[in-house]
Amino acid sequence: MSFKRKDLLGLASLSPEEMALILEAAEPFKEVSGREIKKVPALRGKTVVNLFFEPSTRTRTSFELAAKRLSADVVNFSPSSSSVVKGETLLDTARNIEFMQADILVLRHSSAGAAEILAKNSRLSVINAGDGWHEHPTQALSDLLTIKEKKGQVRDLRVAIVGDLAHSRVARSNIHALTKMGANVRAVGPPTMIPLSLQRLGVEVFHDFDKAIAGVDVVITLRLQLERQGRSLFPSIREYARLYGLTAERVQRAAQDVLVMHPGPVNRGVEIAHDVVDSGSAVILDQVANGVAVRMGLMYLLAQRN
Amino acid sequence: MEPMPPKHHQESVIMDSHEMTRALTRIAHEILERNKGCRDVGLVGIRTGGVYLAQRLKRLIAQIEQTEVVLGELDITLYRDDLSIRKDQPVLKKTDIPFHISDIRIILVDDVLFTGRTIRAAMDGLTDLGRPAEIQLAVLIDRGHRQLPIRANYVGKNIPTAKDENIRVLLEELGEEDRVAKLINVGTAA
Amino acid sequence: MANDIKILIAGGQVVDPGQWNGIADVLIEEGKISAVEPDLQQKLQGVKALTTIDATGLIVCPGFVDLHVHFREPGFEHKETIATGSAAAVAGGFTSVCCMPNTQPVNDSRSVTEFILAQAAAAGKARVFPIGAITKGSKGEELAEIGELFDAGCVAVSDDGVPVMNSLVMRRAMEYASAFHLPVIDHCEDSQLSRGGSMHEGAVSTELGIPGIPKAAEEVMVARNISLAELTGARLHLPHVSTVGSVRMVREAKARGVPVTAEACPHHFSLTDEAVRSYDSNAKMNPPLRTDEDVQAIKEGLRDHTIDIVATDHAPHAVQEKLLEFDAAPFGIIGLETAFPLTLNLVEEGLLTLEQAIAKLTREPARVFDLSHGTLAPGVAADVTLIDPAATWVVDPARLHSLSRNTPFAGWTMKGRVVKTLVAGEVVYDRESVIKEQR
């Protein structure tokens, strides 16, 4: 089986086989990233454009490293530093990039569906690097790879996703990835942070973290957008940390070899207690390393498309 | 791996199991002779067929010399020069060379030497991993039609072929009876 | 002049809700209906200056009345003008339309009202009835000069597009408007609850990650407005009802005798939030497309007359404005040219009779705003629509008459097509001549 898609827009529409294919493709690139010369010529002559309408140093850097290690030429476009001004539509911007003969467009945008709209109207291969609250597929694939490496398999694992699921693209992509791979997913957060009908995505909803964490194999904590405090989603950071922070005591309630994950950057002492971040359970840095490998594998697959 | 030939092919055997073992044994001796033993020698098989042949050479050298040489596996997919023109999507495999290749004499091992492009890619891949003292090339079959200035140091057998002929090295490790076969397409009309 | 001649619309199935339903001829004299009878044609043989329109196989009904359109003039003429909007109206069979005041400037003064009426007269297509603003600049603070707006020709008041959030202002508006017997229309939306939302809040918005607008944003305002109508006795008209809860509250209010009327838009009974899945901004309007449960409730409301009328909320936006990210695109779709076939679907489903469906587009809206149209009664202006009920056609946005193209029904096969529209006895839309022009 080979990867036939032009774009990667989200995991909701991907089959488990397609996800497995991307993970398989990522595998050899971990070895490449461990070399002295961290570069292979697979994408020599290809152009990758990082079009980021929202600032995100981490994700952009990860894509940039991935493309460069494949020998692609990388251009970073961001609204503040380019000709993208108010008035030019997203599609016009994309069309310009297309006619500069770019091959892969990596898009980060604050609007859900931006990547899909762009992919439909362009010949470019589009990789969704996060669209609004919708999806962030490469992050979830890195998480999947990390879990697979540490646990051997994903099927039947108990995974808790904790935090503001309503406003999280990482949560949505992870829910799709994990449920499709056969994990049992628990969504944990105050009702203000759990979107309506979330159960329809195949997860079990909990508001009590102490109950939800019992026996879980993996805890994915989501980043708390501290500025949301004013929007009545939670009364105070203190109360949030008390009810939904991953403390050492809570870790005790999980399975013995529980994995603690976070898409970064971590608010230490809020989502995860300081000592848990630095404990052996945390695989946050593995997620980062796997992020580069997954993005390399994905770009390699997309570039093969004729 | 390329898919197995369909049934409407006929094959003629160029090299049987015994001949194959004899050729590999000779190559093992030649490697030892040329390198004056096997100190600082490493075998690197090119995926997939080359890996099994390299394993056999390692065993033969161990029998002759009572010394284990280091062995690595090289996937050259990322170094191919035809990635963007191929219709299929080559399966990526891992490169696994568990030793430092710098200052070592590397014997690249492959089953069939044809255009030379695979070897070019393999040499690029190797030099990205370090700076070997020397790269030598061992192949079971040299079928000619080179497109690059590449020559093998060790050859099991030279076989003159037509450009469109299909030469296959079939190995026990891949579930076949050991042999080298020329596949003749009988289905096509004249 | 057309007014000097007699026109006979012969042999059609005349559907004049409450008056006539059967094969008959319609005679028009001096721009007015003079008779609806079978076999008029024979009686009139030999009469000079008689133009006969053969309506065999066609439905002949009063011209449609739309209580809810946005014609964008003055201020947003790149989206629609009164001329293009009127052309779209008559192409969809609408001979009377009521245009909302959210123009630039807002229609909160006699001069804007008179400008709209003058532009409509110059366009010479549909009758245009302006709706005045409730508050100055539709800012929700001070009452507009509703008396003067009434005087200038406004048929209702509304701050449509924005809700009147201040309940005291709404109370005063209702009290004041009742002096002129003017209906008050409130776009029911609690703008705090809906803030940031782009689509219905539910399973689909959760999956798509699009900020949602809960049903409660509409329902709390429907509840408030019904309470205020009960308090003041004012005529309350609820536009674009979109939820189960709203329908239930209107039903209860009507049962109690509260003077409330309600409208439903064709998109709200033809589509659900599933249509947003492709992030097509032509599926974005406010109130948003809801769920199947809501669609069923709206249909039931239409059937049991809880919902009095069908109105389009025709809201044109230019292509470049809609060709944006879903949350950045403006709310609204055009509807005048697809409203009839979508309403006819309710007849095909067996929900309404043909006569009931046509009543929701003619007699009922005329009643809600006290307009002397929507009927073929003798003496009334001859606004007549002729329909081929069997004709099927595919919606091609490029061939619609509106200046804008923002319809979610592109590519849909529609059954039922307007073939001729008359206003005051003059043919203002003729499909045959349109076809000739397009060739």
Domain ranges for chain A, please list them.
16-136+291-304, 137-287
Does domain A16-136+291-304 fall into CATH 3.40.50.720?
no
- Name all chains with 3 or more CB-CB pairs below 8 Å to chain A: B, C
| Average confidence score pLDDT of chain B | 88
How far apart are alpha carbons C390 and A202 in whole angstroms? 45
Range from A213-222, B130-139, B177-186, C342-351 carrying the lowest mean pLDDT? B177-186
The single residue of C16, C159, C186, C313 carrying the catalytic annotation is: C313
The more confidently predicted of residues A302 and B94 is: A302
Asked whether the domain spanning A137-287 has the same topology as the one spanning A16-136+291-304, the reply is yes
Listed by start position, the domains of chain B span: 16-77+93-185
Bin C138: left if φ > 0, else alpha if -120 < ψ < 50, else beta. left
Say if C and B touch: at least 3 Cβ pairs within 8 Å: no
- Cα three-residue angle C417-C97-C157, rounded to 5 degrees: 150
What CATH number was assigned to the domain covering residues A137-287? 3.40.50.1370
Smallest Cα–Cα separation from C146: which of C164, C161, C158, C128? Answer: C158
- Cα three-residue angle A219-A261-A135, rounded to 5 degrees: 95
Give A84's pLDDT tier (boundaries 50, 70, 90).
very low
Q: Tell me the two tokens of residue A134.
A: 């919708």
Right CATH for C2-60+380-438 from 3.30.420.40, 2.60.40.420, 3.90.230.10, 2.30.40.10? 2.30.40.10
How far apart are alpha carbons C167 and A300 in whole angstroms? 60
CA distances from A145 to A136, A141, A174, A181, C330 (A): 15, 6, 12, 11, 40
- Cα three-residue angle B116-B121-B123, rounded to 5 degrees: 95
Nearest residue of C to residue A118, measured between CA atoms: C325
Which positions in chain C touch A169 (Cβ < 8 Å)?
209
Q: Output helix, strand, coil percentages for chain A, rounded to the nearest 5.
A: 45, 15, 40
Which positions in chain A touch B92 (Cβ < 8 Å)?
24-25, 27-28, 297, 300
pLDDT at residue B48, rounded to an integer: 83
Q: Do A41 and B79 touch (CB under 8 A)?
A: yes
Mean pLDDT of A65-80: 90
pLDDT at residue C246, rounded to an integer: 98
The more confidently predicted of residues A87 and C106 is: C106
**Which of C192, C207, C321 would you mutate first to test chain A, the one with the most A CBs within 10 A?**
C207
**pLDDT for A13 beyond 70:** yes
Q: Tell how many helices (H) and how many strands (E) occur in chain C.
A: 15, 18
pLDDT at residue B187, rounded to an integer: 53
**Which of A133, A139, A161, A164 would you mutate first to test chain C, the one with the most C CBs within 10 A?**
A133
C313 carries an active-site annotation: yes
pLDDT (tens digit, 9 = 90+) per residue, A245-269?
999 999 999 999 999 999 989 999 9
Beta bridge partner(s), residue C157? C132, C184
- Per run of 10 residues, the mean pLDDT along chain C (length 439 residues) is 75 96 96 94 82 95 98 96 98 98 97 98 97 97 97 97 95 97 97 96 97 98 98 97 98 97 98 96 97 98 98 96 91 98 98 98 98 97 97 96 97 97 97 74
Peptide bond between residue C378 and the one before it cis (omega within 30 degrees of 0): no
Helices (DSSP H) in B110-182: which residue ranges?
Answer: 117-129
How far apart are alpha carbons C284 and C408 in whole angstroms? 9
Q: Which of residues 51-90 of B touch A (CB under 8 A)?
A: 75, 77-79, 83-84, 86-90
pLDDT at residue C1, rounded to an integer: 42
Q: Do B92 and A39 touch (CB under 8 A)?
A: no
Q: Do A3 and B89 touch (CB under 8 A)?
A: yes
**pLDDT for A85 beyond 80:** no
Q: Is the ipTM beyond the 0.90 threshold? A: yes
Right CATH for C63-368 from 3.40.50.300, 3.10.270.10, 3.20.20.140, 3.40.50.10360? 3.20.20.140
Q: Do C324 and A89 touch (CB under 8 A)?
A: yes
Place of tokens 């696994």: B96
Q: Do C320 and A89 touch (CB under 8 A)?
A: yes
pLDDT at residue C434, rounded to an integer: 74
What CATH number was assigned to the domain covering residues B16-77+93-185? 3.40.50.2020
Q: Do C279 and A12 touch (CB under 8 A)?
A: no
Measure in Å the smallest separation between the Cα of C206 and chain A Cα atoms.
6
pLDDT at residue B188, rounded to an integer: 47
Smallest Cα–Cα separation from B57: which of B107, B119, B97? Answer: B107
Mean pLDDT of B13-18: 92
- Name all chains with 3 or more CB-CB pairs below 8 Å to chain B: A
Where along chain C do the CATH 2.30.40.10 domains lie? 2-60+380-438
Place of tokens 């609007």: A111
Smallest Cα–Cα separation from A40: which of B45, B29, B122, B114? Answer: B122
